[in-house]
Each structure stands twice: as structure tokens, then as C-alpha cells.
Amino acid sequence: MLENFGSYLKRRRRDNGLTQDRLALALSCHSTTLGGIDSVTISRWERGTTEPTLERQRHVIHFFQDDADQVLPFRSARPNLLSPEQSVGYLIRHYLNSPKLGSKVGTFPEKENRKYEVCHLSGSDVDDPFIELILDYDHSIFEAGLPVSHELLHGWIGHSNVLSVVSTKFSHYFGHLIALPLAEDIYWRLIHGEMEEAEIRNSDIVPPEEPHGLYIYSLYGASKIAAALLLIEMAHYAGKYLESIRHIGGLCATSDGARLARSFHLQPGHVGPEVAHGPVRYQGREVQYLTYTAPLASILKDAGLRRILPLH
């Protein structure tokens, strides 16, 4: 579980037997970046009334001789974690919009998060229409040499449906998220293009409580609101299984997907794979396929994303 900076500071101060006065003096002497702070500042930091900059946080961590890569990122100490409604708007404004293009995902015109529902697929026969829509979407933008079949996707969802989600509006399909907690060796084989998605077996999917790479098989939002709701589902998952998620990534089959991946600080992992029938044009342009990945700890260095991470 992520710790906020104030809790870390109070814990390490007490571990070292320091009062707030003595710690303020020691920090001021330790670094010019921390020069001039006093016990009032220390008290405010510990109570979460104010938070120092990331640079100052790093100097404090260095003072206690801790490894910053192990300690960071900190959870926001501010009590105003966003409500679900606020989180949707926040994601749309800061992560799903592009100043140059006007939009990264979803062009359906709407302003309010009304009449949307997010439902988890169960792997039962009732899900078949949604599974067909998901496969139609995937096969329309990416002709894999070994395509994922209806039976295979149905089996994945039946085995692990924790992030098998469909967004609907007035009961109509508006997008989906299929993400699988995979054993780390399988995750990296997919990211490095050493195996096809259709080669994923149920035995490769691990319980979310175990160390894993979260592989996003398919993500689509027909509107920005639908996309934001699906991403919030992933944030809930990340908040719940923070200790066991090592990396998050997947295959981006469109330039929109690549822009979205970069918005969440994912980095290219592998160019490819080659499509079965040569170059593919999508929405009037030739598409390049890339896998993207990043450690969860690196993604959560983004303070904005930590704001939508729920407490568990």
C-alpha cells in the first residue's frame, strides 16, 4: 500500500529518535534545497496540511538514507480524493484530451455521466453477444496470424473476470476492457513479441494476489466518458492489488492507442508483430503495431493518477 509523505516522515523521524525541532535543523543542514525549514513546516508535512515538492521529498529520503526508488511514489495526503464522478471528468480533461487533435479517444458528443453502467462479464453464455462485439472490434483493427477465438476469450473470462468489463449506455454497448493478470514470464514474452495473444492459456493467468504483469488484451471506449469509466475500473484494481502488480502493458494496434499509452507513461516495448496479410490501413492511414509497458511504481509517480487511486 502506498504511504503518504507525512506518514513516512513521522515514522522515520520517530525511528531516529528526533523531535520536529531537531529534524528541521538537521534537514536544513543536510541540503540547501531544504534550507530554512522549521518545526512548523515539519508539523504541516506530517499532518498533510502541505506537501513538499518531489525534489524536496527526495532530499528528505536521502537524509534518512533510504532508497528513493523503493520509497516513491507517495500517495496524496490530501483528503479530497476524487469521487467517481469527479474522477471521470479529471481523466477526460487531463489524460483523454489532446490539445493538438482535440481528442484522443471517443468522439460521441456528451457532457454528463448519465445512464452509463459498467458490468463485469462472468464467462457465462449470457456474455456471448458482448464477446462477439469485442472480437469484432479486435479483428477489425488487427489481423493476427493466430487470432483469438470466441472459445478462448470465453475461457479467459471464465477463469479470471476481475478486469473483464463492458460499458453500456441505455443497455447499448459502449466499450470494453479485457485485462489479464499474467505470470511475469508470460507477460514479458507477449511484450517482447515472442508469443501470440492466442497462445495465452488459462494456466498462464494467476490470482491477482500473486505477483503478476497486468496485460491489457483489449480496451475500447466509444466515448470519452465510457473510456474514463473503464480506466477507473483499472485504477480500482491497481489500488486493491498494489503490492502484487509489477507492470502494466499491452499491444497498441492504432495510433490512438499509442497516444493513450503515452498519456499513462507507458513506454514502447517491441515493434510489431507482423500482421498476417501485410500492411493494414485503419481510418485512412497505415498502422504500426507496438507493445507498451511500464512498472506500476513508475506510472504512479504521476500525482494526477494517484488522485483517482482508491483507498483499500
Q: How confident is the model at residue 104 (pLDDT cuts 50, 70, 90)?
A: low
Which comes out higher in pLDDT, residue 49 or 217? Answer: 217
CATH 3.40.630.30 fits 84-307, yes or no: yes
Which comes out higher in pLDDT, residue 122 or 110? Answer: 122
pLDDT tens-digit readout, 147-175? 899 999 999 999 988 999 999 988 889 89
Domain range 5-71, its CATH number among 3.90.480.20, 3.40.50.620, 1.10.260.40, 3.40.50.1820: 1.10.260.40
Q: Do domains 5-71 and 84-307 have the same CATH topology?
A: no
Please give, one letter per residue, the 3-state secondary structure of the chain.
CCCEHHHHHHHHHHHCCCCHHHHHHHHHHHCHHHCCCCHHHHHHHHHCCCCCCHHHHHHHHHHCCCCHHHHCCCECCCCCCCCHHHHHHHHHHHCCCCCCCCCCCCCCCCCCCCCEEEEECCCCHHHHHHHHHHHHHHHHHCCCCCCCCHHHHHHHHHHCCCCEEEEEECCEEEEEEEEEEECHHHHHHHHCCCCCHHHCCHHHECCCCCCEEEEEEEEEECCHHHHHHHHHHHHHHHHHCCCCEEEEEEEECCHHHHHHHHHCCCEEEEECCCCCCCCCEECCEECCCEEEEEEHHHHCCCHHHHHCCCCC
Q: What is the mean pLDDT of residues 174-182?
A: 94
pLDDT tens-digit readout, 37-72? 888 889 988 888 888 888 889 899 999 999 888 788
Model confidence, pTM: 0.70
Kindly list the domain boundaries of the chain, sorted by start residue: 5-71, 84-307
